[in-house]
Every structure is written in C-alpha cells, then in structure tokens.
Amino acid sequence: MPMIRVLAFVFLIVAIAMAYFQLHDHPAWADFQVPLEQSTTELTPSSTSTYSKTKPIVNPPTLQGLTEWLPDTTRPSLHAASVIPLKDGNWRAFWFAGSREGAADVVILSATLDSVIKQWGPASVVLDREGAQVGLGRYIAKLGNPVPMRNINGQLQLYVVAVSIGGWAGSSISVMHSDDDGVTWSGPKRLITTPLLNLSTLVKGSGFLFADGTMGMPVYHEWIGKYGELIRLDPTGQMLDKRRMTSGRGTLQPIVFIDDAKHASAYFRQARRTGPKQIPVSHTASAGERWELAPDLGLANPNAAITGVELPDRTRLMVFNDLEHGRHRLVLAAAWPNPAKADSSQSAKSNYSPWKTIAALEDETASTTNPKEEFSYPYMSLNQQGQVLLVYTWNRKRIKSILWDASYLQSYLQHIKSEMDRSR
Amino acid sequence: MTLSTLIHQLPLIEISLITSIIFLHLIRATLNIGYGLVPGLLLVSIASLVLLAPFGAIGAPWSLPFAAYIRGVTGDLSILSLMLLICTWSGLNAFRIASITPILITVIAILFYPFALGFTMFDPYAWGYHSSVLVGTVLLVAAIYFFAKHSWEALMISITVIAWSIHWHESINLWDYLLDPFLAVWAIGLSIRWVIWGRPQADDANEWSMDASLMSRRKRGRMFG
C-alpha cells in the first residue's frame, strides 16, 4: 500500500530530525559543585546574646544546642521532617502528619524557626491529598517524605513522595516550587523515574548542585529491589538523567558527601535480610555518572535513616541510630578531613578520619517503661552562618529540633579532635 | 475552558479514549456484535465523556473523574501501545503487524525489566533519557522495518520518537514511550501463541471481513478489533 509507505517515510525523516535536536539540546554530564573552603575563623556566631538557653563555654566544652519542638497540630502521627535555611536567616521545616502513617488525611506541613527569638512559628499545610490529586491529574492515596532543595536561582523546591496504589512501594516523587521561600507553592508535578508504572521511587536525603547549575537528588527504590539512585534534574526540577548507586535489596535512603568536583561518597540506610547491620557505602570518581560499592562504614545501622552535613571547614557530621536493633538511641558522629592525604585523586575513604561518635542525642536504652522508644528519620542542614539544625521524629508523636551555633559546635569539635590527636 | 486547562486535561482525555476503546472492544467481543467505524467513534466519545465527567461536583461520593483513578493505577501508556490499540480497534484491513514484532517486544521486555528494576548496577532505563545510541538504534530498527516493507511498524516507531522528542507525556525517557508493562504482557502472550500454534494466515481476513467475532480476529492474528 503506497500511501502508508509514504507516510512512514515522511514520519521517519521527521523523527530523525527531531531526535537529533532533542539529543543536541540535552546538557552533558557535569562535575559536582564544590563549596569554597572557608576558614573556621571567618564564622561568626549568630546572635549569641539571644542564645539564652545555652550555657557559656566551659572547659572542657560540651555540645550545647538549642532543643525545641516543632509545632503540635493535634495530628496523632507525624514523621519525616526536613529543614532548609531561608534567605532571611530563618529556617523552614517540612514534615508529614495525619491520623497515622499512610492515612488518607496525611498532609505535608511546614513551619519556620525564627533565628532571632529561636522559636518555631505555627504550622501551615503545604500540600494535602486533594491538592495533589488536582495538580497531578490522578488519584492519590497518600503522601510521604518531603525534602526541600534550593535551585541555582535561589528558588525553593519541595520534593514529595506520593502514592496512588499500594504501600510505600507504590511511591513516586513529585516536585513543587515556591518563589516566596515557602509561603505559597505551585501545584505538584510528577517525576517519571522507573519504567514499571513509575512505581517505587522515594526521596529522603538532601540534594546538591552540579557545576552547571543542574541538581542531583539521591533517591531510592523500595519494591522489587531496595537500592539507591542519583537523579539529575534541571533547575526547574525536570528529570534529566539518573544513575544507579547500588543494586539488590539491601540499601535505602542515600545521603551524599561530596569530596571534590569528581569524587563523592554515598552512605545508606541498610535494609539487608542477612549480612552486617552496618552503614553501606558507594563511591563515585566520575561526578556521579558511575558508582561502585565500597566496604561498609563500620558503623552499626538498624535499618534506620541517617543524615549528614559537611561544615564549612569540611568536617563532616552524621546523625544516626548506632544500634543493630531498635531506634532508641540517636548519636552525632564526626569525621575530620586528613590534611596529609588531601589529594583530589584519593577517594574519600583515605581523605577522612574514621567516624567518631561525639555525642548521644537520645539514649533510652535503660528505659523499661516504653520499650518502643523511637528516635528516627533525622535530617540535618547547614546555613551560611555555619549553624546546623537537626530535626528528627520523637516517638512518632512530635518532631524535635536541635540547633547548634557555629562557635559552640566548632569549639566542641576542636576539643574532641585535639583529644583524639593526643591519644594517638 | 481555557487552553492551559485543556492542555492539563490532555493526559486524562487520552486515558479516557483508550479505556473506552478497550472497554468497548471487550463488550463487542463478548457479546459478538459488530458495528461500523462511525457508530464506534460515537460510542467511544460517549464512554470517554462518562470517564471524564466530574461526578464529584454533582454530589457523587468520589471526588475525581473515573479517568483519574485509572491513570492513578496505570500511569500514561506508551505511545506504541496507544497506536497498536487504535490501529487494531479501528479495524483497518490494511493494518497487520510483522510476525517478528511481538517476539522482538517480548525479547526486549524480558531483557529490559529485570535490569531496569535494580537486578544489577547495569541500568538500561537510564539510556532512555538521552542516549544517542538508544535513540539511534530505535530509529535504525524503524528504518529496517521500512525497508523490509513493514511500513506500519516504521510509522509507529517514528511517531513514538517524535512524541518523545516533544515530551508529549510526563516522562522524558524514551523507554516510557516505547514500552509499558501492558504492551510487554500482550507481546509475550501473542508470541507464545504464535510460536506454539503458528500465526494465522493473512488471507483469512478475506473470509471474515469486518466480522466482530473475537475468534475470527484471532484467526487473522489480531488481538483487538
């Protein structure tokens, strides 16, 4: 039939031309954006005069932080808090809350921490199920983990897990934008990240920037496989690419520490059926384009989420449950860059000191009244003043926050490090 | 309805049309009744409007149109699936796919899905974002089909690549335009039948013409319409 042949030929030529332009427009893979190293002396403790809840530094210093609770909204179950510094110096937190995890009435909430009075403001609803359904043009059963990210242009974005069918295995990620630092939000837009009905991609760890202004977001799958992936997004939050960080059924919820333009390490929540209950590790030497599994970190992990930040002096902090079972103990650990081996050709393994637990933030090991004490889903973020804000779920009933000022944190870390150096 | 509202509704309209086509085909096959193209188009339009109707606004206990629930489960179908469904349903006598096509889809699906779902560190799905090798291979397959005188496949693959290049669906991954689990299941079923029982001859179609019976269509080597 000649007509169909003519049609096929014309469309084939058009397809070749359009595919060429599409491939031509796609940005090439870029290096990581590496923050400029700052001297620790440049850090200014922010408004220490209002830091009334902390004690003055004594010798030996202790880890002084401001502990607060995120606003209670009378919703009985809440989880998965995350935070991001705002342009005005305050912080904004996001979390989900409802009658129970996975219920239809779960909403994504947000509140701000005033940096002057050091108190959380009232909570507001960022997204509910009905809003998600309208924005995504489909039935949505429940909402989950919200993770904020600031793009190269300073726009605040929120990556949210949404489920249409099944449990968390049926998740996909949607992105929302805010041009007023989180007061108002656009409708969500879905990211397509897997080929099988787009089932089972979730977000938990914080994202980072590539040198060309595109964004990296560590995500994970939790269905047939349990493994980590890196998705690459353009500044508007549109998918550009993705790369596998691990495979199989043993790793979840990656966090990424960037060493230099090419090197980075990803740490995971372990979800192994058998094998060591330790934090799994994956490395890249190609700016995230290819990842290789590395030996475990040697830190216990009970199949629970972890979080980390890198301070301006490149000291790394991590918060996790250092247990093989249960989540009743939450600790802060630090790793220091090793100047003797600070060589960009080296992997992070050899560039950093081993992780050292520097403080127990929660420890209910001795509690007999409530054996199900749970301190979980930590999320940590750093602002330009060097303050570190940690949020985590406290017994699934409240979200607790701890704010560490740069000066207190630095003096405590230096004290621990000098003690370590002395003991060598 | 503004243009932006209409564009926002396009995926729901698409899923409504396709669901109607499948639904009406199943009714047609089950009840063994036939109808022409124009009544068929009318029925599909009516069924689609029912699927798109905002029942929630007039007091129904469910808040979304039926199409939104279907889309919640299935997502957007691949362009290849859509075209196969439309071409087979429309009953074009000229439409006949090559014997190799379902087998090719089967082989690709069986190799693709385990690796795309995390079996190893090898991830063929990542190629779909911007791999010139994958796009080149797909276009080469289309060209081979064209020169092998299988113009339908060449046309369908070309339209698929065009749809990907303009990001017609939410996905920007070429695989999502080429393949979906429903297409894979269909291809696997058809391949098994053709390999075991052999493919029905094309000239059977002359005996059956536009008969609606499912058996006659199966004999002509068609799953739908």
Distance from CA of B66 to the nearest CA of A (A): 9
Three-class secondary structure of residue A403 per DSSP: strand
| Cα A243–chain centre separation | 17
Chain A within 8 Å of B68 (Cβ-Cβ)?
yes
- Please name the residue of chain A whose CA is at the shortest distance from the CA of residue B160: A15
Query: Based on the structure, what is the number of domains in chain A?
Result: 1
pLDDT computed for residue A64 by the predictor: 82
Q: How far is CA A53 from CA A45, A66, A380, in A?
A: 15, 7, 21
Contact A377, A16 (CB under 8 A): no
Q: How many CA atoms lie within 13 A of A230 on its CB side?
A: 31
What is the identity of the amino acid at A397? K
- Residue-range domain boundaries for chain B: 1-75, 77-225
Q: How many CA atoms lie within 13 A of A254 on its CB side?
A: 34
Question: Which residues of chain B lie closer than 8 angstroms to A192, CB-CB?
Answer: 75, 169-173, 176
Contact A206, A231 (CB under 8 A): no
- The answer to whether the Cβ–Cβ distance between B11 and A137 falls below 8 Å is yes
- pLDDT higher than threshold 80 for residue B209: no
- Please name the residue of chain B whose CA is at the shortest distance from the CA of residue A244: B121
Q: Which residues contact B13 (CB under 8 A, 6 or more apart)?
A: B48, B52, B67
Q: Which A-chain residues 104-163 have CB contacts (< 8 A) with chain B?
A: 130, 133, 137-141
Contact A349, A294 (CB under 8 A): yes
Angle at A244 between CA A239 and CA A249, to 5 degrees: 125
| Cα A143–chain centre separation | 17
Between B53 and B139, residue with greater pLDDT: B139
Contacts across the A-B interface (CB distance below 8 Å): 162
DSSP string, A152-163: TTS-EEEEEEEE
Question: Which residues of chain B lie closer than 8 angstroms to A223, CB-CB?
Answer: 117
Within 10 Å of residue B147's Cβ, how many Cβ atoms? Answer: 10
Q: How far is CA B224 from CA A98, B27, B177, B196, B203, in A?
A: 45, 12, 20, 20, 18
- pLDDT higher than threshold 90 for residue A37: no
- When pLDDT is averaged across residues A217-246 and rounded to a whole number, the result is 94
> Which of A4, A16, A141 minimises the CB distance to B139?
A16
Residue A163 backbone class (left: φ over 0; alpha: ψ -120 to 50; beta: rest):
beta
- pLDDT higher than threshold 50 for residue A48: no
d(CA A382, CA A404): 10
| Cα B118–chain centre separation | 26
- pLDDT higher than threshold 50 for residue B215: no
Tens digit of each residue's pLDDT (9 = 90 or more) over B25-80: 888 778 877 777 788 888 889 988 988 888 777 777 777 888 888 888 888 899 99
Give the lowest-confidence range in B7-11, B93-97, B192-196, B211-215: B211-215
- pLDDT higher than threshold 60 for residue B211: no
| Disruptive mutation site among A105, A163, A244, A251 for chain B (greatest number of B CBs within 10 Å) | A244
- For residue A229, the surrounding DSSP H or E stretch is strand A226-233
- The answer to whether the Cβ–Cβ distance between B118 and A138 falls below 8 Å is no
Lookup: tokens for B23: 């639904």
Question: Which residues of chain A lie closer than 8 angstroms to B154, CB-CB?
Answer: 8-9, 11-12
Nearest to A151 by CA among A88, A209, A87: A209
Distance from CA of B116 to the nearest CA of A (A): 7
Angle at B113 between CA A167 and CA A15, to 5 degrees: 115
Contact B224, B85 (CB under 8 A): yes
Tens digit of each residue's pLDDT (9 = 90 or more) over A138-162: 889 999 999 999 999 999 999 999 9
Strand arrangement, sheet containing A307-310:
A307-310, A316-320, A329-335, A356-363
Contact B133, B126 (CB under 8 A): no
pLDDT computed for residue A30 by the predictor: 94
- The answer to whether the Cβ–Cβ distance between B130 and A140 falls below 8 Å is no
Chain B within 8 Å of A242 (Cβ-Cβ)?
yes
Tens digit of each residue's pLDDT (9 = 90 or more) over A371-388: 678 999 999 999 999 999
pLDDT computed for residue B213 by the predictor: 43
- Please name the residue of chain B whose CA is at the shortest distance from the CA of residue A196: B181
Question: Which residues of chain A lie closer than 8 angstroms to B157, CB-CB?
Answer: 15
d(CA A223, CA A243): 18
Asked whether residue A27 is assigned to any structural domain, the reply reads: no
- pLDDT higher than threshold 50 for residue B225: no
pLDDT computed for residue A366 by the predictor: 56
Tens digit of each residue's pLDDT (9 = 90 or more) over A66-89: 999 999 888 988 999 999 999 999
Q: How far is CA A78 from CA A74, A160, A170, A203, A320, in A?
A: 10, 15, 20, 17, 19
> Which of B118, B152, B170 minimises the CB distance to A4?
B152
Within 10 Å of residue A199's Cβ, how many Cβ atoms? Answer: 23
Query: What pTM, to 2 d.p., does this model score?
Result: 0.88
Tens digit of each residue's pLDDT (9 = 90 or more) over A297-343: 999 999 999 999 999 999 999 999 998 888 989 999 999 998 765 45
> Which of A4, A18, A221 minimises the CB distance to B118?
A221
Distance from CA of A248 to the nearest CA of B (A): 6
> What percent of chain B lies above the pLDDT cut of 90?
40
| Disruptive mutation site among A196, A227, A292 for chain B (greatest number of B CBs within 10 Å) | A196
pLDDT computed for residue A59 by the predictor: 61
Asked whether residue A1 is assigned to any structural domain, the reply reads: no
Tens digit of each residue's pLDDT (9 = 90 or more) over B152-207: 999 999 999 999 999 999 899 999 999 999 999 999 999 999 888 887 765 444 33
Chain A within 8 Å of B177 (Cβ-Cβ)?
no
pLDDT computed for residue A205 by the predictor: 95
- pLDDT higher than threshold 60 for residue A46: no
Three-class secondary structure of residue A286 per DSSP: coil
- The answer to whether the Cβ–Cβ distance between B117 and A23 falls below 8 Å is no
ipTM: 0.86
Whole-number average pLDDT of chain A: 88
What is the identity of the amino acid at B188? I
What is the identity of the amino acid at A301? N
Question: Which residues of chain A lie closer than 8 angstroms to B74, CB-CB?
Answer: 197
Q: How far is CA A136 from CA A77, A139, B64, B90, in A?
A: 25, 8, 12, 31
Nearest to A294 by CA among A260, A340, A263: A263
pLDDT computed for residue A364 by the predictor: 83
Nearest to A224 by CA among A254, A190, A194, A267: A194
Chain B within 8 Å of A204 (Cβ-Cβ)?
no
What sign does the CA torsion over B214, B217, B223, B224 have? negative
Tens digit of each residue's pLDDT (9 = 90 or more) over B74-121: 888 999 999 998 888 777 767 778 888 999 999 999 999 999 988 899
Chain A within 8 Å of B90 (Cβ-Cβ)?
no
Chain B within 8 Å of A424 (Cβ-Cβ)?
no
Domain span including residue A66: 33-423
- pLDDT higher than threshold 80 for residue B208: no
DSSP string, A59-74: SS-----EEEEPPP-S
Tens digit of each residue's pLDDT (9 = 90 or more) over A171-222: 999 999 999 999 999 989 999 999 988 888 999 999 999 999 999 999 999 9
Question: Which residues of chain A lie closer than 8 angstroms to B141, CB-CB?
Answer: none
We report the CATH number of the domain holding residue A339 as: 2.120.10.10
Q: Which A-chain residues 53-82 have CB contacts (< 8 A) with chain B?
A: none
pLDDT computed for residue B90 by the predictor: 75
d(CA B124, CA B173): 11
Asked whether residue A11 is assigned to any structural domain, the reply reads: no
Lookup: tokens for A122: 């009232």
Q: Which B-chain residues 112-171 have CB contacts (< 8 A) with chain A?
A: 112-113, 116-123, 125-126, 128-130, 132, 135, 139, 142-143, 146, 149, 151-152, 154-155, 157-159, 161-162, 164-166, 169-171
Residue A258's pLDDT band (cuts 50, 70, 90):
very high
Distance from CA of B97 to the nearest CA of A (A): 13
- The answer to whether the Cβ–Cβ distance between A15 and B173 falls below 8 Å is no
Contact A401, A68 (CB under 8 A): yes
d(CA B189, CA B185): 6
pLDDT computed for residue B107 by the predictor: 96
- When pLDDT is averaged across residues A233-251 and rounded to a whole number, the result is 94
What is the identity of the amino acid at A101? E
pLDDT computed for residue A340 by the predictor: 62
- The answer to whether the Cβ–Cβ distance between A137 and B120 falls below 8 Å is no
Within 10 Å of residue B197's Cβ, how many Cβ atoms? Answer: 8
> What percent of chain A lies above the pLDDT cut of 90?
68
